[in-house]
Structure 1
Amino acid sequence: MNILYPIIFFAVLGLAAGLLLAAASKIFYVKTDERVEKIASSLPNINCGACGFSGCEGYAEAIVKDGAAPDLCRTGGAQALAAISEIMGIEASASEPERAVVRCKGDCEAAGVKYDFEGVKSCAAAEIYYSGYKKCTSGCLGLGDCVKVCPKGAISIRNGIAVIDDCLCIGCGLCVRECPNGLIALRKISAGVDYLCMSSNSAKDTVAACQNGCIGCRQCERVCPEGAVRVENGHAVLDYSLCTGCGKCAEVCKRGVISVNR
C-alpha cells in the first residue's frame, strides 16, 4: 500500500502539470499569419542571409509584417518573386538582376609575391600576415574564401585569382562580404564595362607589384564622353548610372585594367 502513494502522487502531479500546460498554451497562444508560412515555404530555405535577414523565415516575416521588398531573394530569383507576389496580392516587378565581378587582374603571371604562404588556405588568414603574400596588398589572394560561400558554384580559382561564371552567378552577394580585400562587387547585368583593379598604391609601386595594375594615368577619365570614369585613390572608378558602355575608356587603357562586356 505504501508503494501506491508515491505512484498516485506523481500521477496526479503529472496530470495537473499537463492541464496547466494545456491551459497556458490556450491563454498565451499567439496567432500567426499563414502568409508567413506560405512565403517561407516558397523560398529556397538555404538561409544564406543574402536578403539581409537572418534567414528565409525571418525574411518571410519581414515581408508580411514590415513590408520588406519581395524581390530580395536572389537565390530564389523570379520563381520566388512570383510566388511571394501571388501570396501578398501584389504585382511582380523585379529590379534588374545583378552579377558579381572580381576587380583584380593580378594572376600568377602578372602579380609578384613577397613570400610563400603555407598556412591555412584562406584569404582572411593570409591577409593577416603583412597584408597577404602578394606584392600588391589590394589584390586577390586566390585562396578561395569566396568559393566556399558561393551557393551556386559560380566561383573558381584560375591562375591564382577568383573568376566568376556569369551564367551561374545569381548575384546573392555572399562573396562580396567574404572577400577580405573588398575586391568583389555587384553590378547590373546590363553594365557594359568593368574596372579590374583596386590598388591604391602609387604608380611606381603598382608597376613593381603587378603588370596589370591601374597606374591612375587618367586617360580613361579624359576620353569618357559621359564623365562616368574618374580616378580615385589611385585607380579608376566607374559610375554605372552614367556609363553607356561605349568602350572608349577600355581602348585607351594601356594596362588592360578596363574590360568591356559585350
Structure 2
Amino acid sequence: MIESIVAPLLIVSGLGLFAGIGLSIATIIFDKPADKREEALRETLPGINCGACGFTGCEGYAKAMAAEEAGANLCTPGGIEVQTHLSEILGTDVGDYQRTAAFVHCNGSCNHTKEKMSYTGAETCYGASQLFGGPGSCQFGCMGYGDCEVVCAYDAIHVEDGVAVVDGDKCVGCLECIDACPKQLIQMLPAAEIAAVACSNHERGGAVRKLCEVGCIACSKCVRSCSSQAITIEDSLAVIDPALCTNCGSCIEICPQNCIVEVNMCVKSG
C-alpha cells in the first residue's frame, strides 16, 4: 500500500527535479545580458506611459529606441531636455523639436448656446453624450462635464463657462484628454502662434446659426482671405492646416462668426 503511493511520488519528484535542472541550464545558455542602453533610455523617460510617442508606454519606446526603430524626439511630455538626453544616449541628433499642446475645437460657451433639454443622468461627458448627443443645443459642442479635466494629471485643462479650456503652459501633450472626449473635440496643435477654428459643427450655416452664435457657417470668407492656402472647407466646416498657417490674422478678422481664434501656447520650451 505504502509502496504504491511512494513510487509515484518519487517519479513525479524526479521529473520535477529534472525539469528544474533543465530550465536552469537553458536560462544560463540563452539568457541575454541586460541592455544597458535600453535601461538608461527607460530611466530617462518620464515614466507616465501616456503613449504619445506611439508605443506601448515608456518601456516600449525605450525598447524601440534601443533597437534603432525610433528616434529620440517622440517624447512630447519630456520636452526638449528629455529628448536631448535620449539623443546623447543613442549618439544621434535630437532632430527638430516642436512642442505641441491640446486645443479644444469649441467656443460654444453658455453665453453663445442654449440647452435643448434638461439632463439629470450621470454628470460625465460620456454619459450625457449617450442621450441624443447631450443636453446642449449643438450636438457637436463641448458638454462641459469635464471628463478631460478629470483625466489630466497636469492641471492643464478646466471647464470655463461650460467649455473645456486648455492651459498651453501646463499641457505636456500626453493625449489623455483626447481619449477622454467622446466627441473628439480636442486636437494637438503646435504650441506656436497660429489660427485655429474653435468649432466642430458640421451642419449647414442656417442650422448652425440657430444653435450657436459663434459656430462656423462654412461661408468660405476665411478660405478666400488666406494667402497661404492653409484653410479649406471640409464637411461644412472650416479647417486650418497648422503647417501652412502663417498667423497673418486675415481669417480672424474676416470671420463673421468670430469662431477663428489665435492660438499662442508657446509659453515654455520644454
Query: Shared fold (TM-score greater than 0.5)?
Result: yes
Q: Distance in 2 between matches of 1:261 and 1:225?
A: 19
Counterpart selection for 2:211 from 187, 209, 212: 209
* Identical aligned residues as a percent: 37
Conservation of the 8 A alpha-carbon contact between 1:123 and 1:179: yes
Q: Distance in 2 between matches of 1:17 and 1:230?
A: 67
Q: CA deviation at 1:166?
A: 1.0
**1:130 alignment counterpart:** 132
- SS in structure 2 of the partner of residue 260 of structure 1: strand
**2:175 alignment counterpart:** 173
Conservation of the 8 A alpha-carbon contact between 1:224 and 1:248: yes
Q: Distance in 1 between matches of 2:194 and 2:143?
A: 26
**1:224 alignment counterpart:** 226
Conservation of the 8 A alpha-carbon contact between 2:193 and 2:262: no
Q: TM-score with structure 1 length normalisation?
A: 0.88
**1:30 alignment counterpart:** 32
- SS in structure 2 of the partner of residue 60 of structure 1: helix
Conservation of the 8 A alpha-carbon contact between 2:125 and 2:147: yes
Q: Per-residue CA shift, 1:176-201, capped at 9, x if unaligned?
A: 23322121111112242111111011
Q: Distance in 1 between matches of 2:50 and 2:173?
A: 12
Conservation of the 8 A alpha-carbon contact between 1:191 and 1:240: no
Q: CA deviation at 1:33?
A: 1.9
Alpha-carbon distance change, 115 to 66 in structure 1, aligned in 2, over 3 angstroms: farther
Conservation of the 8 A alpha-carbon contact between 2:196 and 2:261: yes
Amino acid at match of 2:122: V
**1:257 alignment counterpart:** 259
Q: CA deviation at 1:222?
A: 2.0
Amino acid at match of 1:49: G
Moved more, 184-193 or 153-162: 184-193
Q: Distance in 2 between matches of 1:14 and 1:236?
A: 69
Q: CA deviation at 1:17?
A: 6.4
Is 1:81 equivalent to 2:83 in the alignment?
yes
Is 1:116 equivalent to 2:118 in the alignment?
yes
Q: TM-score with structure 2 length normalisation?
A: 0.86
Q: CA deviation at 1:28?
A: 3.2
Q: Distance in 2 between matches of 1:126 and 1:112?
A: 15
**1:95 alignment counterpart:** 97
Counterpart selection for 1:152 from 150, 154, 169: 154
Conservation of the 8 A alpha-carbon contact between 2:145 and 2:159: yes
Structure 1 ranges of 4+ moved more than 3 A: 8-21
Alpha-carbon distance change, 261 to 20 in structure 1, aligned in 2, over 3 angstroms: closer
Residues 55-70 of structure 1 mapped to structure 2, 5 A cutoff: 55-70=57-72
Counterpart selection for 1:45 from 47, 68, 71: 47
Amino acid at match of 1:80: V
Q: CA deviation at 1:87?
A: 1.1
- SS in structure 2 of the partner of residue 192 of structure 1: strand
- SS in structure 2 of the partner of residue 36 of structure 1: helix
- The gaps in structure 1 that reach 5 residues or longer are 1-7
**1:3 alignment counterpart:** none
Amino acid at match of 1:108: C
Q: Distance in 1 between matches of 2:163 and 2:20?
A: 61
Number of residue pairs matched by the alignment: 259
Conservation of the 8 A alpha-carbon contact between 2:50 and 2:175: no
RMSD of Structure 2 on Structure 1 (CA): 2.5
Q: CA deviation at 1:174?
A: 2.6
Q: Per-residue CA shift, 1:39-69, capped at 9, x if unaligned?
A: 1111111212221111111110011114212
- SS in structure 1 of the partner of residue 261 of structure 2: strand
